[in-house]
Structure 1
């Protein structure tokens, strides 16, 4: 499932390439035909991400709410912006398999470096360049729930958990159910809200971090890595976690989310040597402390990394460093 940084990056695509021009909205699959008719021909005036959900505001006062869920993805094509890291990484970046360059690289339009304007990019939990389109707009691929088309760019949505037209009242209600997002909420206020909620709960902290009503945007990768970075036992009830540790989790989430949005990948290890940094860019196996490393030695103490199902998802931790 895409985590918070991915959804914010998708919203950035809409900000840069779809706002303030008329958008042709259709449903090639047919399942969103009625909703598409309400939005067709109107301009997008705002793209907003909160946690794992994205909201597109149209100039007629209606919004499109999208939650990608486990299987959703946006396919972009046309004269679109792609990270320089993606271009130099042979089209692969994201949580699982980026081969790339320096994390300090920022986004640039591929057209500015001589690439064709019919660039195609898939954005979900990973970001991957697809073969260039041969015509514009390209034919929809697969079961496209909704297509958003401008004279220069197209976005196709496939497989979302949620895709619906909402009023501003409904949008406000949906956002009110979500926990604080460091890229939306004031950091200090978000820290206070997160800390107050966690410190009242008897639920294990590993479950609280994945609860979108407690904090927005954290998924399985960031959950495991945040807990290890805090050296915190994932099964500790929230109310038993020291207040300063809870505050530290929030501040670390602020740091990792901002880094993920900037770079497009979840690099959760700090202070790497130049050689280790290159390895981390080349392979997920060298990018994380504990995530997806079941049975492998802890990078700190050598204890085999443990894994068990918790809340329907795989939880990874070090039994010694997080005792």
Structure 2
């Protein structure tokens, strides 16, 4: 399931390529035909991401709400414009890791999925081609160039087409039209998002909710009404970074630890948006950082490391099910 950083990057891509343009909307799959007919011919006027949900506004106060869920993704094709808040004008960028080491601006690191980890698709270069925006982000397809508009491939729930850019939505959990009041009601159900809410107010809200809940902290972090955007990877990593047992009831987690989790989430979310990767390792030198960006298994402390030794204490990392999702943690460090 796409976590918060991915959805914020998708929203930025819409802001650069779709907002301010009139769209042709269709539902090639047919499951959103009525909704697409209402969007067809309208101008996209704004976009916002909150947690794992995106809200795209059209004229006449009509909104599109999309939750990608486990399998959803947006495919963009056509002229894909660079987001200047992430990348430089020539489509290349340097990134600063958590320790402050800056890599060269023209470094290119391709991981096993052929993703450019340093200039990934939240800030792609101007190009003709197709990019996939989901948790497993891909780079430009080598055969992406061709006819315009591009042919429909697979089960496309919704296609939004401007004169230069095409956005295809596949496999979402939710794709619906909402009024402004319904949008506000949807957002009101969500916990604070560090990239949306005031950080201090978000910290107080998050801390207050967690500290009165008897529910295990490992479940609370996945509850989108408690905090927005955290998924399976960030849950495991935040708990490890806090050296916290996932089974600890929220009300028994020391207040200073709860606050540190919020602040850590705010920090990691920004890194995720800037790099396109859920990078959770600290204090890496340049070589180790490049290796981590090139290999997903090197980016995390415990996630996806079941049966392997803890990077710190050597204890075998445990895998269990919590909240119907896989949870990775170190029983020695996280006491």
- TM-score surpassing 0.5? yes
Q: Residue 319 of structure 2: SS of its match in structure 1? A: strand
Give the aligned partner of residue 255 of structure 1: 267
Task: Give ranges in structure 2 of 5+ residues lacking alignment.
Answer: 94-105
Match of 1:282 among 270, 294, 306: 294
Query: 1:133 and 1:196 mapped to 2: Cα distance?
Result: 51
Displacement of 1:106 in angstroms is 10
How do residues 61-210 of structure 1 correspond to structure 2 at under 5 angstroms? 61-81=61-81, 84=91, 97=113, 100=116, 110-111=125-126, 117-129=127-139, 130=141, 131-210=143-222
Give the aligned partner of residue 4 of structure 2: 4
Query: 1:38 and 1:275 mapped to 2: Cα distance?
Result: 51
Query: 2:115 and 2:146 mapped to 1: Cα distance?
Result: 26
Query: 2:70 and 2:123 mapped to 1: Cα distance?
Result: 29
Aligned length in residues:
314
Cα distance change, pair 72–141 in 1 and its aligned pair in 2 (3 A): same
Kept after mapping to 1: 8 A contact 2:121/2:276: no
Q: Residue 288 of structure 2: SS of its match in structure 1? A: helix
Kept after mapping to 2: 8 A contact 1:98/1:282: no
Displacement of 1:81 in angstroms is 3.4
Give the aligned partner of residue 17 of structure 2: 17
Displacement of 1:100 in angstroms is 4.3
After superposition, the C-alpha distances for 1:129-167 in whole angstroms (9 at most, x for unaligned) are 223231111011111000000000000001000000110
Kindly report structure 1 stretches of 4+ aligned residues shifted beyond 2 Å: 81-90, 96-103, 105-111
Give the aligned partner of residue 114 of structure 1: none
Displacement of 1:296 in angstroms is 0.5
Give the aligned partner of residue 238 of structure 2: 226
Match of 1:211 among 217, 223, 226: 223
Displacement of 1:109 in angstroms is 5.3
Q: Residue 326 of structure 2: SS of its match in structure 1? A: strand
Cα distance change, pair 284–50 in 1 and its aligned pair in 2 (3 A): same
Kept after mapping to 1: 8 A contact 2:121/2:138: no
Query: 2:283 and 2:246 mapped to 1: Cα distance?
Result: 24
176-185 or 270-279, which deviates more: 270-279
Displacement of 1:89 in angstroms is 5.3
Query: 1:158 and 1:145 mapped to 2: Cα distance?
Result: 5
CA RMSD of aligned residues (A): 2.1
After superposition, the C-alpha distances for 1:15-37 in whole angstroms (9 at most, x for unaligned) are 00001111111111111111011
Q: Residue 144 of structure 1: SS of its match in structure 2? A: coil
Displacement of 1:110 in angstroms is 2.3
**1 or 2, which has the higher strand percentage?**
1
Cα distance change, pair 85–281 in 1 and its aligned pair in 2 (3 A): farther
Query: 1:274 and 1:147 mapped to 2: Cα distance?
Result: 41
270-279 or 306-315, which deviates more: 270-279
Give the aligned partner of residue 304 of structure 1: 316
Query: 1:107 and 1:197 mapped to 2: Cα distance?
Result: 32
Kept after mapping to 2: 8 A contact 1:106/1:262: no
